[in-house]
Amino acid sequence: MKHSDPQGPVSFMANVGRLPHKGLPVVIEADAAQRAALAAEHELLSVEKYRAELLVAPWKRNGVKVSGRVEADITQACIVTLDPVQAHIDEEVEALFLPEASKLGRQGFEGGGEILLDAEGPDSPETFSGDTIDVGALAEQFFGLAIDPYPRKQGVSIEAVDDTGSEENEFQQKLRSLLGKS
């Protein structure tokens, strides 16, 4: 991903200094310009729809939990034919944040300087400074991770287009016979 702009196309700074007990709902609906910027940023042909529904809520003593979903309709180029391939993204968003000065953030969850990670559990908390978190950028990260890195048009396989395999196989057989190996 290219990051020429410090703020992404769907940047949304949430003030976490005084969060309501029930949390702060955030809805990000990308307009045409933002969708075009998302497509360029993530090397897509187009983004037809992008919507993130998040809840920014207090977590533990002074941490923040961001949870929700990001949904999008995108068009990518098939890696075999370069034809357009439509895809729908529906990705769960969940992240924890701690202030940089937080004792938990400095010492880890167990207080001994180590953070125990559960592969199936949530990621370890990230730190933030000040009283805002860019929840739009967070949703965009989850969007980016959900994009298929190798989109293929239905019914198309790489082998169907790769015609060098048989020539290479013949070459390898001749080489083996010259070297006296079977």
pLDDT of residue 168: 53
Q: What is the pLDDT, as a whole number, of residue 125?
A: 83
pLDDT at 5: 44
Helix/strand/coil for 66: strand
Query: Which pLDDT belongs to residue 121?
Result: 59
Give the burial class of 155: count Cβ atoms within 10 A of its Cβ; 0-12 exposed, 13-18 middle, 19 or more buried: exposed
Distances (CA, A) of 182 to 164, 175, 177: 22, 10, 7
Whether the Cβ atoms of residue 96 and residue 128 lie closer than 8 Å to each other = no
- Report the pLDDT value the prediction gives residue 85, as an integer from 0 to 100: 94
Its pTM stands at: 0.74
The low-confidence residues of the chain, meaning pLDDT below 50, are 1-5, 109-112, 160-165
**What pLDDT does 101 receive?**
76
